[in-house]
Chains A and B, each alone.
Chain A
Amino acid sequence: MNRDDKLSEEIKSIYEEETRGLTLSDEFLNNLKKNYKKSHRERINEFLNKEIEIPLAPAFVGMAALIALSIIPKDILKNEQLRTIYIGSSEVIIREQKEVTRK
């Protein structure tokens, strides 16, 4: 099919002439784009459906730390700070920290 003869050139040239300077306004284009703005519901759904990649090594370390924290008693490294005051035949024990032990 011819594209380079006189008639073809004239057809192309007339079409180009007729559409020269013909563009959609920015307002129209912005409205066109606004049509596609997502609703809050769509955004929430998108967030919930997002694929999250978790690196395995840090995940294991984190998990181990969490387990350790829940198993080991918190006061294992703390020295019990007691003060004993003798008053006559009585003794008063003052504990500076509340003792927490696992049952």
Chain B
Amino acid sequence: MTEQVLVKKLKRKDEAAYEEIVNTYANKLFKVCYLMLKDEKEAEDVVQETFIKVFKNIASFRGESSIYTWIYRIALNISRDVIRKRQEVLSFEYEWIGEEDVEEKVEESIDREVLRRSLKSLNPIYRECLILFYFEDLSIREISQILDESEGTIKSKLSRGRKLLKNSLEKGGQFNE
């Protein structure tokens, strides 16, 4: 079923189309939300809320982006709300101050445990970009559509996130933002 047909059927409240979209995206979203939230129960709740919103608001989907971009955007916005409620981070606002796409070489030996810890405690602003880029293999363009930010901002966030991880690795897991 092509995406256009799928969206058309979803708008007609077709149950088979709904099942298809759940089967295609539920587990993918669950993993992304788990990586964002580090909590299975919360990730499940986000997935559930995402699908409720998808089917409540499908009529307003204008097809300017792909359906998966739209679904991911909903899921990440809900995840951000969960993080805000935890007061883990106060703001998701990010100001792009310029081209920061210069990659520094990372040493050949990486302490995986330190990196694992660093990834978990990395600011969610950078975490979401890294997850979408490295785990979901999405392009900069797709990420910019999902997060509704410019491609430059996404590149900058990825670069900054990597730099923070690199610094953290050098300091044995300590961030110095």
Contact = CB atoms under 8 A, between A and B. Distances in A.
- Secondary structure call for the A interface: helix
Contact of A32 (B51, B131, B165): B51
Interface stretch (A34-42, A59-67, A86-94): A34-42
A98 B134 CA distance: 89
Interface stretch (A6-14, A68-76, A77-85): A6-14
Interface residues of B, number: 42
A46 B159 CA distance: 51
Interface of A: 1-3, 5-8, 10-12, 14-16, 18-19, 22-24, 28-29, 32-33, 35-38, 42, 46
A1 B135 contact: no
Contacts of A11: 115, 119, 130, 134, 165
A24 B44 contact: yes
Contacts of A36: 13, 15, 18, 55
27 contacts: A1-B133, A1-B140, A1-B155, A1-B158, A1-B159, A2-B103, A2-B162, A3-B133, A5-B106, A6-B107, A6-B110, A7-B106, A7-B162, A7-B165, A8-B134, A10-B110, A14-B115, A14-B116, A14-B119, A15-B119, A18-B34, A24-B27, A33-B19, A35-B48, A36-B15, A37-B15, A38-B15
B115 A19 contact: no
Contacts of B147: none
B26 A5 contact: no
- Give the top 6 A-B pairs by smallest Cβ distance, nearest first: A15-B135, A19-B31, A7-B106, A12-B134, A36-B18, A11-B134
